[in-house]
Amino acid sequence: MGIINTTPDSFFADSRKQGVDEALQQAEKMLADGAAFLDLGAYSSRPGAVDISAQEETDRLLPVVEAIAKAFPEAIMSIDTFRAGVAEAAIKSGAHIINDIGGGTLDDEMFATVARLQVPYILMHMKGTPQTMTQLAQYDDVFNEVFNDLAAKYQQLKRLGVHDVIIDPGFGFAKTAEQSYALLNKVDEFKMLDLPVLTGVSRKRMIYGVLGSTAAEALNGTTVLNTIALTKGTDILRVHDVKEAVEAVKIWEAVNR
C-alpha cells in the first residue's frame, strides 16, 4: 500500500504531494513499482498536527481521487480519513476502501457510513486525537488492550453488517516506541481475529529514534521492520517506498516457497 499525502505537513516530506499533477506522478510511479493499493490522505495525523476543517480536507482530497480514478482506473484507492463525510465523498468520487485512523472513535457516524456504503474498512487502534495521542500512551498490557479494543469494534461492525475488515494495530498512535515494538513482536497473535492485518511502520519515529537518525534516513530500518512483519504474518505493508517493500515481499516469498 503506497502512501500519497495531499498535505503540506505530513511527517515525511517526500510523501507530500501538492496538487493533482504531483499526486498523479506519484501514483503512476507507485503502481509501476508494484503497489496493490494507493492510500490517499489529506489530513496530517502526525503527533501534534494542525487540525483542519472537513471542508479543507475534502477540497485537498477529491480532485486527486477523481484524477487517479480517471488516469488509472485499475488502481485500488483507500482513503485515510477519520471523518465519515469525507470518506463517503471520496468513495463516491472513485475510491474503494476507508482507512480510519480513529477506528470509529473520532466520528460517531463512521461505522454506520461504512455499513451503508458496503466498502472494505481498515480499523485502526488509537486513543485520543493526533493532537492529544502522545499524552495517552499508558497501558497495563499494550497487546491485550489493543487486541481487545479491535475485537470489540469488529463485533460492532459485524452487527451492522460490515464483514470486509482489515485491522491495523496503530503503530505510533498513542504508543511509545517500546509499546510499538511490543505490538510488532505479537503481530501474529492478531491473526486470532481471522482478519487481514495491515502494518504501517514506514519511516516512523519508532525506527529513526532507535537509529538516532531522521525519517529521511529511515528506509533501511523500515525494510527491516517490514520484513519482520512479513515473517509474523502481516498481510499488507503500508509504505512510503513501494519498490523497496515489494522487493522485501519477493525475497520473503522466495524463502517461504
Whether 116 sits among the annotated catalytic residues: the reply is: no
Catalytic residue among 60, 83, 153, 204: 204
Q: Which three cell numbers stand for residue 8?
A: 503540506
Q: Which three cell numbers stand for residue 28?
A: 503512476
Catalytic residue among 116, 238, 243, 250: 238
CA distance 125 to 218: 24
Helix, strand, coil fractions of the chain, as percent rounded to 5: 50, 10, 40
Amino acid, single-letter form, for residue 171: F
Bridge-based pairing of strands 2-5 and 38-41 is parallel
* Residue 205 per-residue DSSP state: H
CA distance 43 to 53: 9
Taking the chain, what is the end-to-end CA distance rounded to the nearest angstrom?
Answer: 23
> Maximum Cα–Cα distance for the chain, whole Å?
48
Strand-pairing partners, residue 239, are: 2
Whether 238 sits among the annotated catalytic residues: the reply is: yes
Catalogue the active-site residues. 204, 238
